[in-house]
Amino acid sequence: MRPLAYVRPGDVPAALRAITAEPGARFLGGGTNLVDLMRQDVERPATVVDITGLPLDRVEQAPDGGVRVGALARNSHLAAHPVIRGRYPVLAQAVLSGASAQLRNMATVGGNLLQRTRCPYFYDGAAACNKREPGSGCDAIGGLNRDHAVLGASEACVATHPSDMCVALAALDAVVVVESLRGERRVPMEDFHRLPGGTPHIESAIEADELVTAVELPPCPVAATSRYRKVRDRASYAFALVSVAAAMEVRDGAVAEVRLALGGVAAKPWRAREAERVLLGAPAVEESFRRAAEAELAAATALSHNTFKIELARRTVTATLLRLLTDGSAA
């Protein structure tokens, strides 16, 4: 049992003062990831700053036609919100595929953004893990790596990001709003999470004294015709082997607009820019979808146990785009 201090601030400025007052302090939202990591002795905060009472839980339409989602909005509330279901169905589908109903009722949007990898070597204190202990090595590279990354990995880390929600946010060009005592800033979702490089313990663009206060979804008409597809080992409560968030509009038989992001394949939600480039203006047919998927996965590198992920990702991209086309929602 490790002793820790507990603080429950009444407003955002008080929360920001609390997080800067004590080295090693951590914000606590739903606790569905942090508490698990504390139990495993991976996270050892000296102070827990409970932010669940802050007024950051609203889902509101923005004046520009987008949506602002408070960081403390529960995942279940986000997925059930009529504006999200109508304008951004890919996001609602991703959230609903992400965990059990009980966890969705506790988990927050901000916490989902900042959840850490579910790599078993990261959780195992006896294993070498550069995320947990920089410079110690990565036992996953030569170990059981079936679930690990095929894109954007490095010699220091091959872990994947576990979120489903974040894959949809990446495809939607969401913006993460963060606040500190220095002021507020906005970070594009595509830049919020980082690839491991030589510093896999630095997982996001957020600083230690910053708090995620909201996620902004820009107006995105194509998102109304979108879909999230998740391939996993079992239908309930499993992390993605591969997932795809896709939105597409077809005009005169050609792809007029497309958004694609992949999950389960990298240390961050992977925006499939090369696939989008290949698809734009191409005939909306299976061959185009397959060619775009192959272009995106051309740089993929397999480990000893996850070669199957590359072909699985190709097929999942193709199948997701075909479903958008054949169910009539993209035409």
- Mean pLDDT confidence for 304-329: 93
Annotate 93-108 with b (16+ C-beta within 10 A) or e (fewer): bbbbbbbeeeebebbb
Asked if residue 327 has pLDDT above 90, the reply is: no
pLDDT in the model for residue 204: 97
Mean pLDDT of 58-65: 95
Tell whether the model's pLDDT for residue 249 goes beyond 80. Answer: yes
At residue 331, the pLDDT reads 54
pLDDT of residue 3: 85
Given a cut of 60, is residue 181 above it in pLDDT? yes
Token output for 72: 């403390």
Identify whether the C-beta of residue 174 lies closer than 8 Å to the C-beta of residue 215: yes
8 A C-beta contact, residue 108 and residue 75: yes
Q: Is residue 189 part of a domain?
A: no
Specify the pLDDT at position 326: 87
Does 285 fall in a domain?
Answer: yes
Band of residue 329 on the pLDDT scale cut at 50, 70, 90:
low
Q: Is residue 30 part of a domain?
A: yes
Quick: pLDDT tens for 2-36: 888 999 999 999 999 999 998 889 999 999 999 99
* Residue 158 confidence (pLDDT): 98
Instruction: Name the domain count of the chain.
Output: 2
Give the pLDDT score at 288.
Answer: 98
Contacts with 135 (C-beta within 8 Å, 6 or more apart), sequence order? none
Domain membership flag for residue 290: yes
Residue-averaged pLDDT of the chain: 95
What tokens does 320 get?
Answer: 């997701």
Question: What is the per-residue pLDDT for 310?
Answer: 98
Find residue 229's DSSP bridge partners: 244
Residue 213 has pLDDT above 60, yes or no: yes
The CATH number given to whatever domain includes residue 295 is 3.30.390.50
32, 53, 74 — which closes off a domain? 53
Segments forming the whole domain that contains residue 26: 5-53
Instruction: Please name which of 174, 157, 176, 182 lies closest in space to residue 111, comparing C-alpha atoms.
Output: 176
Q: Is residue 314 part of a domain?
A: yes
Residue 49 lies in a domain: yes
Over residues 224-244, mean pLDDT: 94
Residue 35, in any domain of the structure? yes
> For residue 36, what is the domain's CATH number?
3.30.43.10
pLDDT (average), residues 42-46? 92
Q: What is the pLDDT of residues 136-163, one digit of tens each?
A: 999 999 999 999 999 999 999 999 999 9
- What's the pLDDT at 328? 63
Q: What angle do CA 45, 15, 17 make, to 5 degrees?
A: 90
Average pLDDT estimate for 96-121: 93
Is residue 225 within 8 A of residue 324, CB to CB? The reply is yes
* In a domain? residue 93: no
